Amino acid sequence: MKILVINGPNLNLLGTREPDIYGAESLAEIQAYTQNCLGDKAQLEWWQSNSESEIIDKVQSVITSDFDALIINPAAYSHTSIAILDALKNLKIPIVEVHLSNIYNRESFRHSLLTAQASSIIMSGLGKDSYYYAALALLRK
């Protein structure tokens, strides 16, 4: 299975950004951990941007790609971006939205996930395992 993993704003700062909430691992370390846990069960292609328009363009590129599924952590855009939601709705492949922290243990504005309306599965609060469990769920779906 070939899976695209899209990461949104500020996830490039993982490891140094609020480690008490997001953990001490960098995005590169989470990527290596996830692939190590999966072994050769799935091929993951990782991508990150702080730009909403770039994320939309990347989601739209999936329409004509050979990806079997998408894992997306839209980060703060999950609470605000109707544009990313609209782009996700065009995909005909399974989508898993992940969040490292438990969004319901945080500020109330984080409780609403606009982008999750296009998702098959939502993972929240599992830390670095969010991506691994998301891939496992896709493999079993």
Catalytic residue (choose from 22, 77, 131, 132): 22
Q: Give the length of the chain.
A: 141
Angle between helices 27-38 and 129-140 in degrees, nearest 10: 40
Residue of 45, 49, 46 whose CA lies nearest to 76: 49
- Alpha helical stretches, state H, 45-107: 52-61, 82-88
User: Does 99 participate in catalysis according to the annotation?
Assistant: yes
DSSP state of 104: G
Catalytic residue (choose from 77, 99, 131, 132): 99
Q: Which residues contact 13 (CB under 8 A, 6 or more apart)?
A: none
Place of tokens 């544009």: 83
User: Does 22 participate in catalysis according to the annotation?
Assistant: yes
Catalytic residues: 22, 99
